[in-house]
Structure formats: structure tokens, C-alpha cells
Amino acid sequence: MQPELSDAELLALESDLFCTECDRPELCEGDDDRTSKRSTESCCTGQETVEDICSGNKQSSNQLNVSEQKSEVRPEGSGSKRRKQDERIPLERFGRKYLNVTDLSRQAWCEQQVVYGLELPHIEQLREEVPVVKAGSCLHLARGERVRELPVFGELEGIFLVGVVDELCYNSKGELELRELKTRGQRTYPSVAQRKSHQLQVNIYKLLFEAMIKGQLNKDTITHHLCLRTEQPFSSEILLHAQKVGFTISTFGDLLDLMLLNLRYAEIPNIDAMKIEYCYQADASLIGTKEVNFEEEWVKSELKHYYSFWRGQREAKGVDIEEAWKCRSCDFADICEWRQSKAEEATQKNQANRSK
Ligand code: SF4
């Protein structure tokens, strides 16, 4: 008897669908939007001096635990030196055919942190094991009753983006509403800086979703960016499952055609409202909800700025001095060259001021 396949399994791409002749690097394993959620939710909101941060005397206990383990996985040599020797642009260097929307929202928090996360994933994996982060993931999985975990994807300004919308539903006014759930370690709203990265995330989701339902996403765009072999036939298991659910398909290309046609002619409305729900992860209670405005010009200019790093047009940036408090909760604080250089700059400035 053939085993039952879930829709998720049907849609999971088999490795032989990827073009082996393509000279671009392979997809990063496990690099989906969901697994990219990081720990910025549980970080501080306080302001501190660079000296405080550099002395490390305000680290949380979680941070300390992670730091203790990190000392054993510290990389050899200078990261910036290694980067300069590698002439590939970041998209190629990190083997990215596409970016996750969360890559961009994390970039809005600290770009240098994103780079370290890709160069030294084992350090962030240590953080993933911290119980408070696990609690956040469980809460995401436990919510139901809506269209949930909806994948959205497409090309925006020349780069292919992939994301997962938490919830899509009709609100009491009959509007299609996008909801993003954020879990928090404290019963407070996040800082303005964090909220900006969340706003960017949901604004990008709306752009991707609406391009999909308006027929602006086409098969060539998908196959070009992801290097997929659309003529590759499905296995007998998948064909059987497709028949059971009423699909007449034999290749991945057929499935793409079907999906794009369905999206285009299903008469799905645009997203009218966007909300971010902040929940306290200890008991899943609602802290509050923030409405998000759609600001297309702002999103596009943010994308341009963040893409310029991925395209190798500029170096990665860490946080500005005014936002040095972000470093307190950062997994890479004790190896970060950006932070060290800013601390040296601040020390020199202080010395110069004292000698006047
Ligand atoms: S220590 Fe600060 S500047 Fe460096 S990666 Fe972390 S948050 Fe960014």
C-alpha cells in the first residue's frame, strides 16, 4: 500500500528538481522563513553606554550561558580580513538563490548580526536551544482556526524573496487582514527599533502576496531564481496523491502552472489591514496589538538599501552608537569587530575631549 502524503510533503521540493547544471550554489538546508526566526524578541529595551556593553557587565543569564559555550567555537582569524579576500558578493558567498523576508527584517535590526549568523551558525544554534526561545516556537505552532503559515514568494526589485505569513483572515469589517504573531519574553511591547523590523516584514508580505494573486508572479521568474528543473517528472507516490486530490499533473512545471492559475483566478482580495500581535510567551496571553500601515515607497527604499549589501555594493554595517544597547543581547557581542571598532572610536573621542 502506498503511504499517504500530506500536502506539505507534496509541495516539498525533491532534490532532483534542482538544476544540477546550474553553476549557482545550492539552496541552504533548513533555511526557511520559520527557522530563521531569531531571538531579538527577548532582548532588552534599555539604553546603555558603549563602555557598559563592552565590559559585558550587563549581560543576561541566557547571554552568559551562551557566551560560555561560544568561547569554544570562536572562529580563527579576522572575519573582515576573510571577507575581503573573498571576492564573491554576499548572495554568492552565502549560497543564496533567494532571501527570506526574515533575513531583511533581521537586517533592519543589525546587518552585522545577520552576517555573523550566516558565517557562524553554530553560535546562533546555541541560542536556539535556550528554553525561552523554544517556548516562542511552541506558541506559534499552537495557534489555529485561520489560514495559517501561508507561504508567500516572488521577485521584488530583482531579488527572489520567500516568507511565511502567520495568519490571514477576514476581520469584523469583512476586510482581509494579515496578522503576524510575535512572542515576547517580557510583558511589554518591543522597542521602536524592533517594531520597525516587524513593520518591514509585514509590508513585504503584503507586496509578495498581492503580486501572487494579481498574476505578477510567473513560472519563469520562479524557475530562473531557484534553478528548478520544471520538466522533472514526479515520483509515483506524488502522482498518486495528486490524483487523489484531483490534480492532473505529471511534472513540477505542471504543478507550478496549476498553482499560478489558481492564485490568479481565485478572486482573492488584496490585504486591507495588517496587525502585529504581541504575546507573552510564558502564558500565551496577549500583550497588545499594533496596526501597521502599508508604506510602499518606504519598503522599496528599505529594500534598495538592504539589497545593496547582498549585491556587494557596500560592506555590512553594525548598529550605530545610539543603538549600542542592542549588542547586549547579541550572541556575537564578544567577537564582533564592528562593536570593538565603535568602542575604540568612543574611547578615543572621550580621551580627546578630556585632553582639551
Ligand atoms: S555586537 Fe552589536 S554590532 Fe555586533 S553584531 Fe551584535 S548587535 Fe550587531
Does residue 18 lie in a domain region?
no
Does residue 86 lie in a domain region?
yes
Does residue 257 lie in a domain region?
yes
Does residue 17 lie in a domain region?
no
Question: Measured between alpha carbons, how far is residue 170 from residues 38, 52, 203, 269 in Å?
Answer: 29, 47, 18, 10
Q: Which backbone phi and psi does 91 adopt, to 5 degrees?
A: -55, -40
With beta carbons less than 8 A apart as the criterion, state whether 214 and 310 touch.
no
Does residue 23 lie in a domain region?
no
Give this prediction's pTM. 0.75
CATH of residue 217's domain is 3.90.320.10
Does residue 272 lie in a domain region?
yes
| Structural domain range at position 146 | 41-351
Say which DSSP state 18 is in.
B
C-beta 326 within 6 A of ligand 1? yes
Does residue 33 lie in a domain region?
no
Does residue 25 lie in a domain region?
no
With beta carbons less than 8 A apart as the criterion, state whether 271 and 171 touch.
no
Q: How many domains does the chain have?
A: 1
130 alpha carbon – ligand 1 mean position (Å): 19
Name the residue of 54, 194, 319 whose CB sits within 8 Å of the most ligand 1 atoms, as the mutation to test its pocket: 319
C-beta 116 within 6 A of ligand 1? yes
Q: Helix or strand or coil: residue 312?
A: coil
Tens-digit pLDDT string for the chain (356 aa): 333 333 333 333 333 444 444 433 332 323 333 333 433 343 333 334 434 433 333 343 333 344 444 444 444 445 666 666 778 999 999 999 999 999 999 999 999 999 999 998 777 655 555 555 555 555 555 558 578 899 999 999 999 999 999 999 999 999 999 999 999 989 999 989 899 999 999 999 999 999 999 999 999 999 999 988 899 899 999 999 999 988 889 999 999 999 999 888 888 999 999 999 999 988 989 999 999 999 999 999 999 999 999 999 999 999 998 889 999 989 999 999 999 999 888 889 888 888 87
324 alpha carbon – ligand 1 mean position (Å): 8
